[in-house]
């Protein structure tokens, strides 16, 4: 039987981190299915989903833990396979958000979305300066999963209600 593992990886950024993790996965007959990785503030961080036979999983997890000696921390978690019934009764939306930066903005947005039962599937953000004023701007892109039947206007008005300075754009994501 094959199981799925989600790996979280963090290390001081240096060449070869992905190769080292990939080698361990491959050496233990794991199949690297998908990943998201980034360099941030001198660190390398990533999440990876792999499939591996149940028999090989224990040895794979142990070998990944040994990467700590090389300065690479890997945490492995088993996960269920396939969509849950809840996922089949939802739709995905793409959110773009721009507003004046302030402490707590991610918490405010994520709390507002959770309150209307919207799940954040992917989230990226950054701060930069506005072109003309150099005022710090917060920018975010998110992939959201909302219950079927929820109107775009409800999601948009919920986020816009957080502040007068938030510019919110929502769009439907094509079905996979």
CATH number of 87-172: 3.30.70.260
Report pLDDT for 173.
85
Looking at the structure, give the CATH architecture of the domain made up of residues 2-79: 2-Layer Sandwich (3.30)
Residue 127 has pLDDT above 60, yes or no: yes
Residue 140 has pLDDT above 60, yes or no: yes
Report pLDDT for 90.
82
- Tell me what percent of the residues of the chain surpass a pLDDT of 90: 82
Measured CA to CA, the distance from residue 31 to residue 24 in angstroms comes to 11
- Domain(s) of CATH 3.30.70.260: residues in the chain: 2-79, 87-172
Residue 175 has pLDDT above 90, yes or no: no
- Report the mean per-residue pLDDT for the chain: 92
Region 3-16: mean pLDDT is: 97
Among 74-88, 135-149, 162-176, the minimum mean pLDDT is found in: 74-88
pLDDT band at 176 (very low <50, low <70, confident <90, very high): low
pLDDT band at 131 (very low <50, low <70, confident <90, very high): confident
Region 109-136: mean pLDDT is: 92
Residue 85 has pLDDT above 50, yes or no: no
pLDDT band at 88 (very low <50, low <70, confident <90, very high): low
């Amino acid at each position: 039987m094959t199981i799925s593992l989600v790996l979280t990886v963090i290390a001081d950024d240096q060449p070869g981190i992905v190769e080292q993790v990939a080698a361990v996965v491959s050496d233990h007959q794991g199949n690297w299915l998908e990943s998201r990785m980034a360099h941030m503030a001198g660190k390398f961080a990533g999440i990876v989903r792999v499939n591996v036979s149940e028999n090989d999983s224990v040895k794979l997890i142990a070998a990944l833990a040994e990467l700590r000696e090389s300065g690479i921390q890997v945490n492995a978690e088993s996960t269920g396979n396939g969509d849950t019934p809840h996922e089949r009764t939802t739709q995905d939306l793409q959110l773009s958000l721009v507003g004046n930066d302030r402490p707590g903005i991610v918490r405010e947005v994520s709390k507002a979305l959770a309150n209307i039962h919207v799940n954040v599937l992917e989230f990226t953000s950054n701060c930069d300066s506005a072109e003309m004023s150099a005022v710090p701007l917060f920018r975010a892109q998110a992939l959201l999963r909302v219950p079927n039947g929820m109107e775009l206007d409800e999601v948009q008005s919920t986020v816009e209600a957080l502040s007068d300075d938030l510019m919110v754009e929502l769009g439907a994501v094509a079905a996979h």
